[in-house]
Amino acid sequence: MSLNLKEKILYAASGLFYSQGIRATGVDAVVKAANTTKMSLYKYFSSKDDLVIAFLRKRDEDFRAWFVEQVNGKADTPKAKLLAIFDVISEWMAIPEFRGCAFINAAAEFPLEGNPVHQVSAEFYDQFRSYITELSRQCGSRSPESLALQLSLLIEGAIVSEQMKRHSGAAEQAKQAAIILIEASLSDIPCM
């Protein structure tokens, strides 16, 4: 697939932002990696901040589609999908290019809640929790929002743990804790 220049710039920036960090990646590095000019970059992205937001929005779209497809491919009931989330996360964390979660990393680099980069990162996790909340609701959780927050915290913690120490087994430990939380949260309604 041939990329147009805007896509090429975004692709180059995405790789650099994820592997090296947003603040550590200058516009010159993006231009060089995309084999283009600053003038071309600024034609499509009015500032580095706009490029960062485009990177995060594209990452959100791509990751969410991939993630849901992976979960659905591993499980067909809501309860099984809640647990499959941890398997998918574990597989993702095992790839050699894993550098943590782009949204957690971005929020850490831009910690002020009013910053647009921080806001896009927070939106990603709000939507992620909504996905888990809906699965929890379908499963018959007595408190789907609470269960979703608990499971999300396990996932986020596992991601950060794995980023800090590779092959830590954090995802498997998080899954074991999730099993306990899910069972405790289920009502008398059987899971379909």
In a domain, 191, yes or no: no
Full-model pTM: 0.90
User: Per residue in 149-188, pLDDT tens?
Assistant: 999 999 999 999 999 999 999 999 999 999 999 999 986 5
**Burial classification of residue 122, based on how many CB atoms lie within 10 Å of its CB (0-12 exposed, 13-18 middle, 19 or more buried):** middle
Q: Output the domain CATH number for residue 74.
A: 1.10.357.10
Judge if 133 and 108 occupy the same domain. yes
In a domain, 175, yes or no: yes
**C-alpha to C-alpha distances, 133 to 119, 154, 163, 175, nearest whole angstrom:** 21, 14, 26, 17
Domain holding 17, by residue range, is: 1-46
User: Per residue in 14-68, pLDDT tens?
Assistant: 999 999 999 999 999 999 999 999 999 999 999 999 999 999 999 999 999 999 9
Which pLDDT does position 190 carry in this prediction? 52
